[in-house]
Amino acid sequence: MRLFCFPYAGGGASIFRSWAAALSPQIEVCAIQYPGRETRSNEPCVQNITQIAEAFGLAMLPFLDKPFALFGHSMGALVSFEVARFLSLTNGPLPEHVFFSASGAPHIQEPNPIHHLSEVEFTRALVRLNGIPTEVLKSVEMLKYMLPILRADFAACETYRYREGAPLRCPMSIFGGDHDSRVDRGRLGAWSDHADGYFSLVMFPADHFFLRTCQTALLNAINHELRPLMASSV
């Protein structure tokens, strides 16, 4: 099974580098690289979730010849949700399971946007959200590189508008952090409106970035959901 992994705002494919060793050997981790960072740093960032999703939906088609699942954290949850909808609307292959992490349901607009703030206020807001690694904050050069990427990604998330559509026809798991100041349990639970069948919500004792601090527990939860699907496809 292939697991396509979509990063959070400001993140790149490298954040999933260690996942392959921790997940079942039957799972091939396929990390998504957004434009504007890491190996695609020479490309402009895209500030539209639907455009990003449709581009990846098309690019992924040749790699959907095996059973697959989608995982997205924060911004990645919105992108992977729209990828799943794109595949459904175009009669493409559908995921065996979707994992949406650290993001409110797509029909609930972000209540506290920050992308329009001045550079100083935007940086302070990111610090409050624990959204900038300490090593970046200590480096003027790295901060200068990261801020435009983060602002573009936050703009994409905060200007995203959900379009009415049918629920996803695949099992859905939602992950959240008990101490996430940006996404509360109510917004996480509202994802059930977009599930047509199996739905689960798992909370971790951490903040928005539990995929770093609770990585083992998170990957165990993913393994738990995918193991029966892989067994049935043998």
Which pLDDT value is given to residue 217?
97
Answer yes or no: is pLDDT of 234 > 60: no
50-67: pLDDT as tens digits:
999 999 999 999 999 999
Alpha helix ranges (H) inside 97-139: 119-128, 134-137
What is the side-by-side order of every strand in the sheet holding 2-6? 28-31, 2-6, 68-73, 97-101, 172-177, 199-204
21-47: pLDDT as tens digits:
999 999 999 999 999 999 999 999 999
Which pLDDT value is given to residue 233?
57
The predicted model gives 193-214 an average pLDDT of 95
Both tokens of residue 172? 């859905």
The predicted model gives 214-226 an average pLDDT of 96
What global pTM score does this model have?
Answer: 0.94
The predicted model gives 130-137 an average pLDDT of 73
Report the C-alpha gap between 124 and 13 in whole angstroms.
25
Please say whether the dihedral angle defined by the alpha carbons of residues 89, 45, 213 and 130, taken in this order, is positive or negative: negative
Answer yes or no: is pLDDT of 137 > 70: yes
Which pLDDT value is given to residue 64?
97
CATH of span 2-109+165-232: 3.40.50.1820
158-194: pLDDT as tens digits:
999 999 999 999 999 999 999 998 899 999 999 999 9
Q: Calculate the average pLDDT of the chain.
A: 93
Answer yes or no: is pLDDT of 138 > 80: no
Annotated catalytic sites, by residue? Answer: 74
Domain boundaries, the chain: 2-109+165-232
Q: pLDDT band for 232, please (50, 70, 90 cuts).
A: low
Q: What is the DSSP string of 133-188?
A: -HHHHT-HHHHHHHHHHHHHHHHHHHT------PPBSS-EEEEEETT-SSS-HHHH
How far is C-alpha 205 from the chain's CA centre? 19
